[in-house]
Every structure is written in C-alpha cells, then in structure tokens.
Chains A and B, each alone.
Chain A
Amino acid sequence: MSTRAFGARVQRNIDPQLLRGEGSFVDDIPLAGALHVAFVRSPFARARINAIDISAAAAHPGVAAVYTCDTIGELDREMPLLIPHPSMKDARTQRPLARGDAYYVGQTVAMVVAVDRYTAEDAAALVDVDYDPLDVEIELEKAILDEAPLVHETHPNNVAAHFVQVSGHPDKAIAGAEHVTRVKVRVDRSTAAPMECRAVAATFDRVTGELTVWDGTQAPISVRGGLASILKLDEDKVRVIAPHVGGGFGQKVLLFYPDELLVPYAAMQLGRPVKYIEDRRENFVGSSQERTQIHTIELYAKKTGEVVALRDSFLHDTGAFIPYGIAIAQVASTSIAGPYRIPNIWVEFTAVYTPTVPITPYRGCGRPQACFAIERAMDQLADELGLDRFEIRRRNLIADAEFPVLRDGLLFADGLAVSLDSGQYGKALEMLAERLDVDNFAAEQEKARREGKHLGLGMAFYVEGTGLGPYEGGHIKIHPITGKVYVNTGLTSQGQGHDTVFAQIVADQLGVKVEDVILVEGDTKAFDWGVATFASRAAVVSGNAIHKSALIVRQKTLTAAANMLEADIGDIELRDGAAWVKGTDRAVPLAAIATATNPLRYAFNEAAKAATQFAPASRHDGPALAEGQHPGLEATDYYSPACATWAYGVHGAILEVDPELCSVKVKRYVCIHDCGNMINPMIVEGQVMGGIAQGIGGAMYERIEFDSDGNLVNANFVDFLVPYATEVPQVEILHLETPSPLNPLGVKGVGEAGCIPVGAVIASGVEDALRPFGAGRFHQVPLTPSMIHAALAAA
C-alpha cells in the first residue's frame, strides 16, 4: 500500500451488504418455530396493582405462556443499578414485571408469549389488571415541592440524588467579581428514536445447555455478564450477539430492559426460540429518554468580560427509576464551563424522580444541556457588558498554550479527572467568523429588515469529553488460508462504520487493503473483553487498542518474513498483502507467512506443505514452537485511557424568522469541528451531520409531551416530530485537526459532537433576529412557534 489508509475518505466495507438488503438485524435472524412476545403495560403513571387475572389470556388460542411477577422465578427482582455513586441513597431500579406498584405509563406488567405477534397482542388485551391509580406530579419543578405526591415512598421530595462539585475557589472569586449575569434555562425531554426499535431474540439449546441471545444492544458483554449471573448459567454457555443494529444513540446502552431478561428466560422455559420486536409506540413508552434539565447559572465577571467564576444549580429529571445512576447529570456538571478558562466553578444538581419513562443517556448525555446553559449565559453577559458575542468568547476561550487545563476537583463520568487536553479554540472561532462573514452581517441584517425580513445570527461553542475508560481491547489475526486480517473488539456498532475505520488503522500497519480487514465485533464468542459503545469512545479506545495490537502483529510479521526471505528485518516492507525485500521483487504473501509461523502436521493445502514437520523450512532443533512463542501472526492488546480526551467545535447559523408565522428557517449552518486526527473524514462528517440533524430536532421540533396524568401524548412519529430532509439544513463543515496528546493515534471521539450546541445556536439566532421587536430572550428548547408567538405578544 503506497497511500496511507488512515486519514483517507475510504468507502465503507459494510455498505454493499446493507444496500442490497442483506443486513442481519435481530428480526432478520431466522429462528424456526419462534414464539413472539407482547407486553401488558401500565396505563397509569402511578398505581397500586391489586390483582392480575391472566386466565382469559392464557386460554386464548395460540398463546404459549403468560408471565407475571409471580411466575418469573429469579427474575422477580429489582434490576441492577449500573453505575453506583455515593450521591444516591437507595437508588431505585425497575423490576422486569411490576410487583404491587406501577411507576410510569408503559411499565411492563405482564408478558404474553404466543405463536405470532398478532395473537400475542390479542391476548395481552385480555389480561385483566386491577389498578388503583395514585396522584402524580409530572412537572420537574413541582415534583420536588413538599406537597408533591411521591414516586417512591422511600424518597422524600422525590430526590434521587444530590451532588455538589467545586473547582478552584469560587467564593473568593465571586467576592471580587464586578458583574454577575444570571440565566435560567430549560431543555426539554426528547428520545433517541433509532430507526430500528429495540429487539431481543433468544434460543436455548437444551442438549448443549447453550443460551444464545441476539440483542440490539450497545453492550453485549455486559448483557452476557448479567444474564449469566441472574439466570445462574456458566458464562461460557451464554452467547450474546449484537448483530446489525439500526441506530442506538445511547438508548440501547442501558441494560437491562425487562425484555432482555424475560425473552431469554421464556426461551429456556418453553424450549422454543422467543422474539420480542419492540414497536414504535413501545419505544416511546418503554425505552429510555433524556434531556429535561433546568439550570440556573451565574457568571461572575470583570468589567472586561473575563469570567472569574461560575455557579450553576440544576434539576435533572431522572424519570421513574435511575438505573444508569447520575452519569448524565455528572457529564452536564463537568462540562458546564465549556471551552472557557473560568478557573472557579461551583456546580450542584438534584436528580428528581418523576413517574415517567426512565432517563438514561441519549446522544449528548448532559452535554447539550450544559452547552445550552453556558452559551446562553455567555450571550447574555456579552449583551449586558456591551460586547459582541464573538468578543466575549475571545476573552474567555482557553488559549492554545494553556493546554492541558485541569478542572481540579471535578470528576468526569468515568471517575477520572476533567483535563482538557488540546485544541485551537481561538482559531476555530475566527474560522467561524470568517466563514459567516460576521463583520458584514449587521449591514446585511439591516438591509433585510428594511425589506421586511428578519435575519438572525446564532452561534455556540461546545466541548465534548470523549473516549472514556475504562478500556477496550483489540485482537488481530492474519488468516493463514486467505491472508485476510481478522479483527475483533468488545464493543459494537450501530452504524458508525467501525468495520471501516478499524480496518484503516490495521491496513496501514500490515500493508493490506482496507477491504481485506474483516471486523467481527459485538459477539461474545468472538471477543469478550471490553465494555460498550457509548460516550464517543469507540475510535479512541478500541481504535488505539487495535492499533497497539496491529503494531505487535506487524513486528511478528516482519520478523518471520525476514527469516523466510533471508533478509535484514530493516529491509522488509509490508505492502499489497505481502512482505517485500525493499527495492527487489522478492516477496512472500501474508498468508504464507501466517502459515509458515504455524507449525503443522497435515498439509491441507499447497501453502501448508511448507509448514509440515519434514519440510526444509520447518527443520530446526527443539520444539516446533520455542518456549514463549505463539503460532501464527496474532496479537491481543488493550488501551485504557488516563482520562477523557476533549473534542470541541463551534457552530453558527444564519436564520430567518417570520414574525407572522413564527417560523424559523435555517438559511446557512456552519460547523467548525475538531476531533483530533481524523481516521476517515467522510465518516467524521457523517457523524457530525447526523448529530446536527438530531440537534435540529432537539432545538425546534422534538419534545416528549406528558399530560398532567403522565400519559405520553405524542408517542408516535406523527406527533413527535423527528426532522425529515425538508427540516434539516445543508451543513458546511470545516475541520481542524489538533491531535490528542493522550493516545498513540492522536484521535478524539466524534459521535455526539454534532448535536451538542444546536439548541444554543438556534436560540441565539432567533433572539438576534427578533431583537428589534423587543421579544426578549429565549431560554428553552425546543424553541417552538408558540414560544416565538408568546415572546412577540409579550413584547
């Protein structure tokens, strides 16, 4: 290979298969005689369950079994608290099937297994549950009041967790400040809405005792660990496979959803394969959501605009349960100072139970909320001090020479230090200003206003802690028959293109084509060391682990090739799937090297003859493998980051607001983005654009709506507005590449970046456009036409 694969716009290995309709998503896996699951779900946000009568359902033709909490054996327990933290007391998690109480509309109460989904749904409607509905309070700010009904009797004021983090000496700095800006902002609840809903299928082979589970999860190894321990099976007898997964965006990293335990259980009980394919309504009422936070943020500044301290206090809605701990609130609180120097920080949050769908990370995981708070506050500070929005940021952005910036006292969601590792924040801001021609915008805006058009410029900066620990691994083996390179890692893909970017990393080291590197991930039988896909970590953590393994395999290959070619190791180069003596036509293919390094007894093919015991190349003294030597060209290594690596960027947009229709049209959207060295810019841009589209949804359209009784009233794609192509603007992306000093590849994560600042950009732009009307400030997203109307009416 003469050109480097790392950094190139390489087409994706996986695409032809997906484009031909030959993907293998969970419901595509053929399972002969599979039974299908439908759930009975609570119609009340909070209720006592007096009795469940399953007799009519169980007698319904085609029904194999109906389960309630009384008939699921060891599964009748509160599911695991995934991330314990001292700020939570007696953290509450859900039971697979409700026992005694229901805590949100959609909670699973009984499970029907039948010959097909149609029949299962019929029977589910026949399950008779006797409920006593209880009072509820859905609104976050009211839920913490003394008179609010409790979600859990165990938790006064519905407080699930309370935590304060401090960096520097905020009290002292606040005392010396010359100006304070105070802003209260709110980000509402949304949902990941992956195009493929969640899905679980299981089959139990009672002859071998093996349980195989196909699960559209982001964390198959952890699912296996949980299943083995809860079902009391040997780990080796449980195989969890995350096949092709149609988007995850965090929703699929939670374990366990009730079905992930109940479906394997039913498969074991009934001796037939069992499938649960979540439908869209169930994805709305049964799978995790995120975002609602209300921040009250104060910036303490000098008259020059230099912010010397920040105080932020926020409420975080955790829904009815808190299985993922405080991760989202912790990410929000540790990201609150954004890209700014601000040396003194006091940040506090209260996580609050509400009788609603539980909250776990959705792409962004607290970062969009923190960004919305700090960026809206920065805009206001600029206004109050008579400074331009770009200028206030220039005066506060961390300078290139100041890195690394340790926010001493703050711990990130992986329990490690918050230390911003590298960046060119100032340059990014200037690139945005130039691209949007900010200097001339005021004149353009004025001209448009004279023509009756209301343009606004919105902008927001963001940082993103990515590549969290604890670790991932990479296993690489050069296949002796084909010479193809097989790569495994423990996490799994939901469309990010791992199979291509990891192949690019390996291709450079081993001199093979990207398409000859075959990635197998998300299968516990292929590789079962590792954690999961979350927090924009795959490229950083698995990528570097695979890189380290590739270096070992490269060295083994060079050593073996030097022997075979009787050349000095320094004269060997790897390219075109072979090892060459530089400057000559003497070469040996990787397959032959892989074969020759694997001492053989049987000559099963032509190449194998060279490795059999009487072949000249195999003749040596002592054992065929020297002590400590391993057969073939293979290695496994791991990467464990010392702390997160911080990507960043700045977005800007030109909007047009129609004060009559109260509509917002995004005329231009510019993204300056830096995720360190890019493995594949095409894939990076895809991640960024997809993130921005979700950000546009969160900024203007997507809001999960509960009525005062806790019914989710827009649990479908008609009423919950995921943007179509007609709502998402064309995006202009400019890259910066500031390598991370923390890892060998110099990479940072990119998965969540795009969605983080969009809400703040839109609010900033709408505010700018409507300034002449005296419409005031926009401190809530999604920013809807009704809000614009209300703001204009109040002006």
Chain B
Amino acid sequence: MNRGTIRPRLPATSIDPKAAVALTVNGEKVSAEVSVRMLLSDFLRHELGLTGTHVGCEHGVCGACTVMIDGVSARSCLTFAVQASGAEVRTIESVAAEDGGLHPLQEAFRDCHALQCGYCTPGMIMNILSNLESDRPMDLSEEGIRDMLSGNLCRCTGYQNIVAAVRQAADAMAAR
C-alpha cells in the first residue's frame, strides 16, 4: 500500500457470541469476555500473552499444548476457554522461580540435553510436573517413564534424554 492511499476499512471483530470467563492462571485471577468457541490454548496465548504453551496438532494427540487444570495435566487445544472458567490453570510460565531460576525439572532437561527445538518442551514439562507433584506413586523404571511420556510427541530428541531428565528430576525433587 502506498503512503497516499486511504487505508481500507477493515472489520475489527467477529460476530461470534461471547461469554464471560473468570479463572485463575498461574495464581493470578483473570476475567474476560471471549468467543464461546475460543480454545483455551488460544485464550492463554493470544488473550493473556502466555505464549509458552504451544500448539502442535489441535486434535489432542501431540501434547505440546499440555497445561495443568486444577492440578491435572490437560490438553488446552481440546478445552474451550469457557470450560476452564472457575478453574485453576497452570502454564509453563509458572514453573521457574520469579527471578528466572530454573525448576529442578527444567534444570534436568538442560543437563540431559532433553530438548532441541523446544517446541514440545513446555507440554512435556507440564505433563511430567503434574506426575511429579501428584500424590500417586511414580513408576520410575525405564518402561514406566516412557509410559508417562507417551502422550507427548517429540520430533527432535528421540526421547532418551527426556527419560534421563525425568529420572534426574525425580531424584532431585525426592531429595528436597
């Protein structure tokens, strides 16, 4: 578009019906009017600016969009924002310390070279963290860890180093 041309008049919003949502995200209360069909992943990423949650398939298979809803790992690409109203949502942005210091699980990922492109990593971390933080006993055998990871696709690492990172993190967290 040249400088002299008059800007075209473009629409600003859709005509989607809206609904009010109020939820807690990473300990902070948020409320908004959102399209009733807006996915939780889009809400987190584009309404709240928490772009650490990634979207890999939008059909609930790859696990990149995993967040915690009321302490349980969940696919934010298969959840509508309105469904999360009233819930407590945790995303990857809540995992490191305020000063940026890495959580033992994040440290373990770095130590073990358990990430390459880093796109699946936030979903992996949230899934693993929900297991590490749960009261249920964890099976930390090779097979048990791989089973825990079997809802998250990674295309870069071949998983071996992620398995090692889970083991290291579990040890570190048990020692605390």
**Which residues of A are in contact with B by a Cβ distance under 8 Å?**
11-12, 14-16, 18-23, 25, 27-28, 30, 35, 61-64, 114-116, 118-119, 192-197, 204, 206-207, 244-247, 249, 268-272, 279-280, 494-497, 682-683, 685-686, 689-694, 716-718, 722, 724-726, 728, 730-731, 754
Contacts and interface: CB of A to CB of B under 8 A. Distances in A.
B113 A20 contact: no
B11 A62 contact: yes
Nearest to B161: A686
Interface in B1-17: 1-3, 7-8, 10-16
Contact of A119 (B8, B16, B147, B150): B16
B104 to A, nearest CB: 11
Given A118-B14, A690-B158, A20 B100 contact: yes
A494 to B, nearest CB: 6
A25 B54 contact: yes
A19 B116 CA distance: 11
28 contacts: A15-B118, A18-B118, A19-B110, A20-B92, A21-B50, A21-B52, A21-B92, A22-B52, A25-B51, A25-B54, A35-B10, A61-B14, A61-B15, A115-B11, A192-B155, A195-B120, A196-B56, A206-B2, A206-B3, A280-B56, A686-B157, A693-B158, A717-B57, A718-B61, A722-B153, A724-B153, A725-B150, A725-B159
A116 B14 CA distance: 7
A62 B149 CA distance: 40
Nearest to B122: A21
A61 B150 contact: no
Contacts of B93: 20-21
B57 to A, nearest CB: 4
Interface in B35-81: 35, 37-38, 45, 49-59, 61-62, 64
Contacts of A206: 1-3
The 8 closest A-B pairs by CB, nearest first: A21-B52, A495-B117, A246-B119, A18-B118, A689-B158, A21-B92, A693-B158, A495-B116
B146 A271 contact: no
Interface centre among B51, B64, B116, B152 (most CB of A within 10 A): B116
B125 A690 contact: no
B25 interface: no
A18 B110 CA distance: 10
Given A689-B160, A716-B57, A730-B160, A20 B102 contact: yes
Contact of A19 (B1, B12, B118, B162): B118
B54 A246 contact: yes
Contacts of B146: 724-726
Contacts of B121: 18-19
B59 A717 contact: yes
B113 A270 contact: no
Interface centre among B10, B50, B55, B156 (most CB of A within 10 A): B156
B165 to A, nearest CB: 10
B11 A495 contact: no
Contacts of B113: 11-12, 682-683, 685-686
Interface of B: 1-3, 7-8, 10-16, 35, 37-38, 45, 49-59, 61-62, 64, 91-93, 95-96, 100, 102, 106, 109-111, 113, 115-122, 125, 142, 145-147, 149-163
Contacts of B57: 280, 716-717
Contacts of B150: 724-726
A20 B14 contact: no
A768 to B, nearest CB: 24
Nearest to A497: B116
Given A280-B56, A690-B157, A195 B119 contact: yes
A685 B3 CA distance: 53
B117 A196 contact: yes
B51 A21 contact: yes
A28 B51 contact: yes
A728 B118 contact: no
A30 B3 CA distance: 24
A246 B55 CA distance: 11
A12 B53 contact: no
B118 A23 contact: yes
A731 B160 contact: yes
B120 A21 contact: no
A717 B65 CA distance: 14
Interface centre among B53, B106, B145, B154 (most CB of A within 10 A): B154
Given A20-B93, A194-B155, A725-B163, A494 B14 contact: no
A247 B156 contact: yes
A64 B8 CA distance: 9
Contacts of A495: 115-119, 156
Contact of A271 (B8, B95, B117, B120): B8
B1 A717 contact: no
Nearest to A22: B52
A590 to B, nearest CB: 26
Given A195-B155, A717-B61, A724-B149, A247 B163 contact: no
A271 B5 CA distance: 10
A514 to B, nearest CB: 14
A637 to B, nearest CB: 28
A14 B51 CA distance: 17
Contacts of A247: 116-117, 119, 155-156
Contact of B158 (A195, A272, A731): A731
Contacts of B14: 61-62, 114-116, 118-119
A196 B142 CA distance: 28
Contacts of A25: 51, 54, 119
Contacts of B109: 15, 19
B158 A246 contact: no
Interface centre among A18, A28, A245, A731 (most CB of B within 10 A): A18
A35 B10 CA distance: 10
Contacts of B54: 25, 195-196, 246
Given A64-B8, A271-B1, 9 more contacts: A23-B52, A25-B51, A115-B14, A194-B155, A280-B62, A685-B113, A689-B157, A689-B160, A690-B157
Given A64-B11, A115-B12, A730 B142 contact: yes
Contact of A27 (B51, B116, B122, B142): B51
A16 B118 CA distance: 10
A271 B158 CA distance: 43
A11 B110 contact: yes
Contacts of A279: 58
B8 A270 contact: yes
Interface centre among B64, B110, B158 (most CB of A within 10 A): B158
A419 to B, nearest CB: 31
Contacts of A115: 11-14
A717 B35 contact: no
A691 B156 CA distance: 8
Contact of B154 (A11, A23, A195, A197): A195
B159 A18 contact: no
